[in-house]
Amino acid sequence: MSFIVVIPARYQSTRLPAKPLADILGKTMIERVAEQALQSGAKQVIVATDDQRIVDALQRVKNIEVCLTSKDHESGTDRLAEVCHIYNFSDDEIIVNVQGDEPLIPPSVIKQVANNLFENEQASVATLSAPIGDQEDVFNVNAVKVVTDKNKLALYFSRATIPWDRDNFTPENQQSKNVNLENLQRHIGIYAYRVNFLKQYAQLSVSPLEVIEKLEQLRVLWHGFKIHVDVAVEVPPAGIDTAQDLQRVINVLSAVNINK
């Protein structure tokens, strides 16, 4: 099995300006994400950006390619499709989309999601999930839930709490935070695609479910494609959205360096 990692990296960020170039102990955030991807066994790691400043920042870094793409893409998936077109990748090539704001992403999950897609010919996309272990996440709309069939193919993704445990999720249990977390899975936003699907995705119409839930993966299900979902072998730490998140990652890496 071989696969390619593409890391979409937009320069603009509302909550953290110039986020991909944020300094983390002497390296930019996007460089640290790419370094994690290189450790996954990917045969190629490409940063797909819309800004020349990111291209310039990565030119000195070995083994990381940079592809300058359009500024007009509505999603990271559309940016991936452009990269596939520019590089003229073969239809059966596997592309893993790694978010550009996750400098602590474990290489093991990158390899896992690529391997899952390689082994499941039914699926056009593969992604991961993790058991919900925090009561706060059960009814949190920002913790996206997923349910699958017996073959690990996604039935639905939702910001709502699914499956709804009618007997367990009583108002009293919700208020006391004493609900049973069994069978609840939180979606982890890492994806593997086959190139032939990415070519088709660029032509798919936006689905009404996607608009309602604000979840792009529902477009895939709406149009009849299959998404394989496996439980992550290692749960990735949260990504970076704010200055506080950035400081948290710096603290984690500082502690690691001290203990070496």
Asked if residue 177 belongs to a domain, the reply is yes
Asked if residue 256 belongs to a domain, the reply is no
Asked if residue 243 belongs to a domain, the reply is no
Position 259 scores a pLDDT of 61
What does each C-alpha distance from 46 to 38, 50, 57, 98 come to in angstroms? 10, 13, 14, 10
Position 93 scores a pLDDT of 96
Asked if residue 223 belongs to a domain, the reply is yes
Number of domains in the chain: 1
Position 79 scores a pLDDT of 87
Asked if residue 249 belongs to a domain, the reply is no
Token match 């993966």: residue? Answer: 217
pLDDT tens digits along 29-88:
999 999 999 999 999 999 999 899 999 999 888 889 999 998 887 777 888 999 999 999
pLDDT tens digits along 34-50:
999 999 999 999 999 98
Asked if residue 254 belongs to a domain, the reply is no
Q: What does pLDDT average to in each consecutive run of 10 residues of the chain (260 residues)?
A: 93 84 95 96 94 91 89 82 94 95 96 97 96 93 96 97 94 91 94 95 91 95 97 92 93 81
Asked if residue 247 belongs to a domain, the reply is no
Position 39 scores a pLDDT of 96
Distance CA 120, CA 99 (A): 23
Q: Which domain holds residue 92?
A: 4-234
Position 60 scores a pLDDT of 80
- For residue 153, what are the β-bridge partners? 228
Distance CA 142, CA 114 (A): 25
Position 181 scores a pLDDT of 93
Name the pTM for this structure. 0.92
Q: Which two tokens stand for residue 241?
A: 């959205």
The CATH number assigned to the domain holding 94 equals 3.90.550.10
